[in-house]
Amino acid sequence: MQMLFRLISKLTLIVISAPIAYYGYFLTSNIIMPNYIELLERDILETRLIEKQAKLRRPKVLGAEGKIYRVKDIMSNPYKENAFEDLVRFTLSIETQDDSVLYELKTRHSQLQDMMVNYVKTHDFDFMSMIEYNDNALSGIVKTINNDILTRGYIDTVYIENFTFN
């Protein structure tokens, strides 16, 4: 009797587990693995597309001095916590080695000027007095210009010149 009971329980276990095992195999081989492979292939294709677009925007390094485009006489009030009205005036100099980027900077002169006016308005007087020497602030300006304004290439460096407070 016990032997019969063990046999029935083992057969029941096999009968119950067989569909589960088959469904697991079916799910893995027909649904999970193809989706995983498709995600890998999509990731590879997106990486290739990004690399291709980066090659189109990469400036040709000529080994010569860069060309400089200047946005002169930018004037704005820095962010203020007190009642004093401070006026900041400066020139933004942008260095690039690619002529097409230089042309695009010329066509986007007012956009560059507006970007810097907004930049000054969002920072306080103390930050603005240190901006000439603050590499992090200048690299943020470079990133903003490269990512948001330019479509053809990249700029190398920005400089803040003729910085005066009134």
What residues does 99 pair with on adjacent strands? none
- The pLDDT score that the predictor gives to residue 62 is 59
Amino acid at position 2, single letter: Q
Closest CA to 125 of 90, 91, 92, 77: 77
Q: What angle do CA 27, 32, 47 make, to 5 degrees?
A: 170
- The pLDDT score that the predictor gives to residue 27 is 67
pLDDT tens string, the chain, 166 residues long: the values are: 777 778 777 777 777 776 776 677 776 777 767 777 787 888 888 888 877 766 665 555 555 667 888 988 888 877 776 656 678 888 888 888 878 888 888 998 889 888 888 888 888 777 777 776 677 778 888 888 888 888 877 887 888 888 787 7
Instruction: Report the chain's terminal Cα–Cα distance, integer Å.
Output: 104
Q: Indicate the length of the chain as a whole number.
A: 166
Q: Domain 67-165: give its CATH superfamily.
A: Band 7 domain (3.30.479.30)
What residues does 74 pair with on adjacent strands? 90
* Inter-residue contact 120 to 78 (CB < 8 Å): yes
Tokens of 151: 């479509």
